[in-house]
Structure 1
Amino acid sequence: MIEALQYDFIQNAILAGILVSLAAGIIGSLVVVNRITFLAGGIAHSAYGGIGLAVYLGLPILFGATVFAVITAIIIAIITLQNRNRIDSIIGIMWALGMAIGIILIDLTPGYNVDLMSYLFGSIIAVSQEDIIYLTILDIFIISCISLFYKQILAVSYDSEFASLRGISIKFFYTLILILAGLTVVAAIKVVGLILVIALLTIPTFIAEQFANKLSSMMMISSFFAILFTLGGLSLSYFYDISSGASIIMVGVLTLIIIKLIGKK
């Protein structure tokens, strides 16, 4: 692997993996704590509509996916806050609608040559300098939001009734968490793809829960494991010429199983 570091695409892949892992560890902790994994999955698959729209209009893929993911997150936040009893049905509809829009727009695009499979299952070695800039800005934005609103997000995540009594806007911070989840999902598209993105958000956090006793610690430990999985999966992908996204998730799952078995003993 050492000799591979001389290649620019390997350097970009490693840097992108670290940047995405930081975001996934932080936001994945919020997703698990707030029990909105299914909502994040809905946003992830809805973002495919943004990919189709970007292809159809000739826009940058990540830009289209970002806009679509943010709009979807806001819509889901508004609907679920008003009608939590039907949340599964709402997410299922948004999930299917986003995928359908993406497929139809791609079908209507004449002569497209975009490798759409890389957006479904990830292609970390195809990360560009523009993607690195996007991921860097995203990490700065996420860390800034968490640092600025940590106490409010902590209160909303663990005890929304207490937060409401303290005058904290539940609607605003719930929507913010979903928007941050949507942005992280888009960032992870190039690394593990839309199909596997939820695993990258949740597996490191499930492990971090074994060692952390507060949210901030969970975020840091989760980010560490996410980086470990990404670099380990990238190494396996390089040596055995297999899919990078699937390799990253397999490393994560195996690590989770080992830690659970050790914990039981």
Structure 2
Amino acid sequence: MVRALLTTLIASVVCAVLSCWLVLIGWSLMGDAVAHAVLPGVVLAYVVGAPFALGAVVFGFLAVGLIGVVRDTSRVKEDAAIGIVFTTLFALGLVLISVTPSQTDLNHIIFGNLLGVSWPELTQVMVLGAVVLAVLVLKSRDFTLYAFDRTHAHAIGLRPRLLGAVLLGLLALTAVVALQAVGVVLVVAMLIIPGATAYLLTDRFGRMLVLAPVVSASCAVIGLYASYYLDTAPGGTVVLAQGAAFTVVYLASPRHGLLGTRWAARRRRLRRERAGA
């Protein structure tokens, strides 16, 4: 449980910070694609004895490259290209798992094995998480400008294509971090829900970078302990906690929640009626 808690907290915080940029850029579907496309890379890395991160990064960039090729050389639009590439690579990963002899259950890559995380795996999660957070913090201003105005970023001497490539590399590394906690299937939830939740709570990006990890870490602790007492799957319960948090914010956020906006609209209508009377 101690290793599971540490792994979940690290994965939650790293995914939450990165998710702020993914939500702003509009890369939710790209995050889904990369998270699923890294599966064959992770399996092949296991087969040859290489670090999981190396295989994940290679196949993450391969997926992005293939999406670009299909989009630019055919009539297929980007969303369809993303769907074709990531489902094909994910299926390749499933096939590789089915034919790869292993003393361990490689299905844990798909569904996660939070309670089976070893100390070496936790060390890998800590190292990769530290690398991702360090790059995000050091280049946060550049990434933020890239998210809001790529033309201005290019005008002041930044290289938008390089920044995009770095973000995609960090996305692949983050997917490896989250694999240990929730598996490939639920990685995309950890990469999108915290940022979307924080986006409904504030209009300031700096506050998003604080709120998203706080919400995500809180859901990690609540979900893990709930799974212990309810005897449910830890990774799935953590993601359910994040989904529940988003639902509450979606309904009750003071400025952007469904109930809050309707209440504000009702108050404005009543004011206009009183002014007209």
Q: Secondary structure at the match of 1:107?
A: helix
CA distance in 2, matches of 1:162, 1:80: 26
Residue in structure 2 matched with residue 210 of structure 1 by the alignment: 200
The structural deviation recorded for 1:80 is: 5.7
Matches within 5 A, 1:86-165: 86-110=77-101, 112-165=102-155
Residue 32 (structure 1) aligned with residue 32 (structure 2): no
The structural deviation recorded for 1:217 is: 2.1
Which consecutive unaligned segments of at least 5 residues does structure 1 have? 1-9
Indicate the larger mover: 251-260 or 163-172. Answer: 251-260
The structural deviation recorded for 1:201 is: 1.5
The structural deviation recorded for 1:179 is: 0.9
CA distance in 2, matches of 1:242, 1:231: 14
CA distance in 1, matches of 2:99, 2:196: 41
CA distance in 1, matches of 2:19, 2:104: 29
Contact 1:52 1:103 in 2 (8 A): no
Query: How big is each residue's C-alpha offset from its partner over 1:215-250, in whole Å with a ceiling of 9 and x where there is no partner?
Result: 232122101111111111101111111101111111
Structure with larger Rg: 2
Residue in structure 2 matched with residue 54 of structure 1 by the alignment: 45
The structural deviation recorded for 1:211 is: 2.8
- Alignment RMSD: 2.1
CA distance in 1, matches of 2:198, 2:151: 26
Contact 2:15 2:191 in 1 (8 A): yes
CA distance in 2, matches of 1:214, 1:80: 32
Q: Secondary structure at the match of 2:77?
A: helix
CA distance in 2, matches of 1:50, 1:78: 15
Q: How many residues align?
A: 251
Q: In structure 2, do the counterparts of structure 1 residues 195 and 33 end up closer, same or farther at CA, with 3 Å as the change threshold?
A: same
Q: Secondary structure at the match of 1:168?
A: coil
**Identical pairs, percent:** 22
Residue 69 (structure 1) aligned with residue 60 (structure 2): no
CA distance in 2, matches of 1:39, 1:68: 18
CA distance in 2, matches of 1:107, 1:260: 40
Equivalent of 2:212 in 215, 222, 225? 222
The residue identity in structure 1 corresponding to 2:62 is I
The residue identity in structure 2 corresponding to 1:130 is P
CA distance in 2, matches of 1:234, 1:261: 24
The structural deviation recorded for 1:120 is: 1.6
TM-score, length-normalised on structure 1? 0.86
Residue in structure 1 matched with residue 163 of structure 2 by the alignment: 173
Q: In structure 2, do the counterparts of structure 1 residues 87 and 68 end up closer, same or farther at CA, with 3 Å as the change threshold?
A: farther
The residue identity in structure 2 corresponding to 1:91 is I
The structural deviation recorded for 1:182 is: 1.1
CA distance in 2, matches of 1:18, 1:231: 7
Q: Secondary structure at the match of 2:142?
A: helix
CA distance in 1, matches of 2:142, 2:92: 36
The structural deviation recorded for 1:77 is: 4.5
The residue identity in structure 2 corresponding to 1:175 is A
Residue in structure 2 matched with residue 201 of structure 1 by the alignment: 191
Q: In structure 2, do the counterparts of structure 1 residues 254 and 147 end up closer, same or farther at CA, with 3 Å as the change threshold?
A: closer
Residue in structure 1 matched with residue 267 of structure 2 by the alignment: none
Segments of 4+ in structure 1 off by > 3 A?
A: 54-57, 75-86
The structural deviation recorded for 1:145 is: 1.1
Q: Secondary structure at the match of 1:68?
A: helix
Q: In structure 2, do the counterparts of structure 1 residues 81 and 162 end up closer, same or farther at CA, with 3 Å as the change threshold?
A: farther
Contact 1:25 1:220 in 2 (8 A): no
Q: In structure 2, do the counterparts of structure 1 residues 168 and 108 end up closer, same or farther at CA, with 3 Å as the change threshold?
A: same
